[in-house]
Amino acid sequence: MTCVIVGASSGLGRALAEELARGGHPLVLVSSDARDLLPLASDLTVRFGAAVRTVAADAAEHAGLAAALDRAVPSGQPITALLFPVGAVEQRDDGWLEPELAERLVRVNLLSVSSVVGRLLPRLISQGSGTIVGFGSVAALRGRSSNVLYAAAKRSLESYFESLRHLGEPRGLTVAFYVLGYLDTQLSYGSRLLLPRADPKRVAKRVCRALGRERGRRYVPWFWYPAGVLLKAIPWAVFRRLNS
């Protein structure tokens, strides 16, 4: 039963690939560069005997990515799970980003997910089962003066996943959305952080253990739930000063 991971070459995606390969799942791994994917696929095959296909495609070209994935998972082969640890930030994402880069952020962080889901959803629905897993960020809890469009895309993604529950759950699908705290990966490298970074391997184990059972929105690590409630409750006049 195949698991598709979009954003599999590093960080959380790589850890999810390893965890699912260990569990005996055939995998389809996606990222932009075959030079990252091919050694990873060989490694997983050698260590776990996993059947691994790779799709090297730019997530910003989301319609092309969705079509390539549709071809990569042979029809008739059931899809167990679609997981989307894809994500990208831009250093100058401070509200003044050039339109091309701004659009790219939204394409990679939001539209890549909705396009792939849109393309593969009819297959999941005709199977009557399958899990769709999205990943948001605590960076989207409140609007800040950095990661402006990244956070906007992640908040939109959260809304998209809530809508997906309406569509998928009555048809037998499981839809889960993890709001992640900071991870110890290249995405957060060099950032000044309030709370500790989580190990992506531990997060991957947590997500895979619950795959197919857990639904709705969850905070990982758990302490981000109370932290998020507090952060959202801070009045603007105070929050404005914290963010300066």
The closest residue (CB) to ligand NAP is 11
Of 33 and 98, nearer to ligand NAP (C-beta) is 33
CA–CA gap between residue 108 and residue 134 (Å, rounded)? 13
Contact 84, 135 (CB under 8 A): yes
Burial (CB count <10 Å: 0-12, 13-18, 19+), residue 217: middle
- Mark residues 21-50: x for contact with ligand NAP by CB under 6 A, - for none: ----------xxx--x--------------
* DSSP alpha helix (H) spans, the chain: 11-22, 34-48, 62-72, 99-106, 112-127, 148-168, 200-209, 224-233, 236-242
Of 32 and 156, nearer to ligand NAP (C-beta) is 32
Cβ neighbours of 154 (radius 10 Å): 23
> Which residues ranging from 183 to 222 are in contact with ligand NAP (CB under 6 A)?
183, 185-188, 200
Work out how close the CB of 89 gets to ligand NAP at its nearest, in angstroms, rounded to a whole number. Answer: 7
> Which residues ranging from 120 to 159 are in contact with ligand NAP (CB under 6 A)?
135, 137
CA–CA gap between residue 218 and residue 202 (Å, rounded)? 15
> Which residues ranging from 52 to 71 are in contact with ligand NAP (CB under 6 A)?
58-60
Task: Check binding of 175 to ligand NAP (CB under 6 A).
Answer: no
- Mark residues 71-110: x for contact with ligand NAP by CB under 6 A, - for none: --------------xxxx-------------------x--
CA–CA gap between residue 142 and residue 138 (Å, rounded)? 8
Cβ neighbours of 36 (radius 10 Å): 17
Choose the binding region for ligand NAP from 39-47, 122-130, 179-187, 228-236 (rule: CB under 6 A): 179-187
